[in-house]
C-alpha cells in the first residue's frame, strides 16, 4: 500500500504542511515512521481522513483548492467495479470528484483506495491520471 509524507498528504488535502502535521500530532490521522525516520500516513488512512474532512465541510483552511487547468490532484477514496464499467471517487482537498470509466482502465492504471491520482475535468467529463 502506498504511504504519503506529511507534505504529500497536505497537498492532497489542500492544506498547509503545518496543518497536516498538527492533525497528525493530535492523533486525527495515524502516522508511522519509515527507516529514515520520516512520518508517513498509510494511503487508506489518508483516504478515510479526506472523506471525513469533506463531510465536515472544511479542510481547516479558508483557501479553496483550485487549478487553472481543471486538474484536481487527490486521493482515491472509493472504487465500485462492475463487469465492464467502474466508478472512481477522488477527494481533492474539499472537492469530491466522481468518474465513470471502464473496469479495464481502472485495472491498467492500478487504481485502488489510497492511491494518489489526478482528476481532470472537461465539461461534464472527468478523466483520471495516475502518477
Q: C-alpha cell of 79?
A: 472504487
Question: How many angstroms separate the CA atoms of 123 and 57, rounded?
Answer: 25
> Which 8-state DSSP code applies to residue 57?
T
Helices 43-56 and 6-13 pack at an angle, to 10 degrees, of: 30
Cβ atoms of 94 and 65 closer than 8 Å: yes
65-92 pLDDT, tens per residue? 444 468 888 999 999 999 999 999 999 9
pTM: 0.60
Per-residue pLDDT of 101-131, as tens digits, reads 999 999 999 999 999 998 888 777 777 877 6
Amino acid at each position: 500500500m502506498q504511504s504519503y509524507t506529511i507534505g504529500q498528504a497536505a497537498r492532497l488535502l489542500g492544506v498547509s504542511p503545518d496543518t497536516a502535521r498538527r492533525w497528525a500530532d493530535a492523533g486525527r490521522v495515524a502516522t508511522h515512521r519509515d527507516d529514515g525516520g520520516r512520518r508517513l500516513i498509510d494511503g487508506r488512512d489518508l483516504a478515510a481522513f479526506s472523506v471525513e474532512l469533506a463531510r465536515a465541510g472544511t479542510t481547516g483552511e479558508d483557501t479553496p483548492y483550485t487549478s487553472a487547468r481543471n486538474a484536481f490532484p487527490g486521493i482515491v477514496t472509493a472504487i465500485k467495479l462492475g463487469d465492464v464499467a467502474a466508478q472512481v471517487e477522488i477527494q481533492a482537498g474539499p472537492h469530491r470528484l466522481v468518474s465513470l470509466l471502464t473496469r479495464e482502465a481502472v485495472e491498467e492504471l492500478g487504481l485502488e483506495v489510497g492511491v494518489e491520482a489526478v482528476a481532470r475535468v472537461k465539461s461534464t467529463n472527468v478523466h483520471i491520471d495516475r502518477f
